[in-house]
Amino acid sequence: MSTRKAAISAGPASPARGAAPRLAPGLPPSLAPSLARRCLLHAAAALPLLALVRPACATPEELRAAIAAYTGGAVPATGKVTFDIAKLIDNGNAVPVTITVDSPMTAAAHVTGIAIFNERNPETDIARFTLGPRSGKAEVSTRIRLATSQKLVAVARLSDGSYWQQAMDVIVALAACIEGEAP
């Protein structure tokens, strides 16, 4: 009984004094440094990925690129689009916006799409709507979140292939979408 008691109180086998600890159970001591070196190489390889992290808000160049992608590179003309949004916004969490396009909405001439873009939210595309001649009215309404004071652009695509836009600068008192203060 005394030998059994001594074996229980000793607990699990531990490495002898002065012996190198093993990093992974069942791994020979000769592979332990190799495993540590491999982990270090994986961490070093992941460091450049930190440089690819997107900024907290979009830029004016990204706004232009998003509009160009939507229009297929065509430059939208100014006019025909009415952007109904307050110029001074108290809270950017739920901002009502209405976009109206001057169009007869017939089978021959109608609005096929409306898109809203922004300059300083984390993503440049806010919303894209698809319309047709049976929509009856070339008007869309929604609520959007705004990160900070910025420029908004509404672009309408017509059935004849033309694009029309209106830009609006808005001031946001209480920001949404991001934590902290926007640049």
Please tell me the least confidently modeled range out of 46-50, 102-106, 145-149, 173-177: 46-50
Residue 113 main-chain phi, psi, to 5 deg: -165, 150
- Looking at domain 60-174, its CATH architecture is Sandwich (2.60)
- What is the domain partition of the chain in residue ranges? 60-174
Pairwise CA distance, residues 154 & 164, whole Å: 8
> Residue 17 burial by CB count (10 A; 0-12/13-18/19+): exposed, middle or buried?
exposed
pLDDT for 126-181, tens place per residue?
999 999 999 999 999 999 999 899 999 999 999 999 999 999 999 999 887 655 55
Res 177: pLDDT: 63
Pairwise CA distance, residues 95 & 172, whole Å: 10
112 in Cβ contact with 144 (< 8 Å): no
pLDDT for 8-44, tens place per residue?
444 455 555 555 554 556 656 665 566 667 766 666 6
Res 78: pLDDT: 97
Instruction: Spell out the residues 6+ positions from residue 178 whose beta carbon is closer than 8 angstroms to its own.
Output: 56, 57, 122, 147, 148
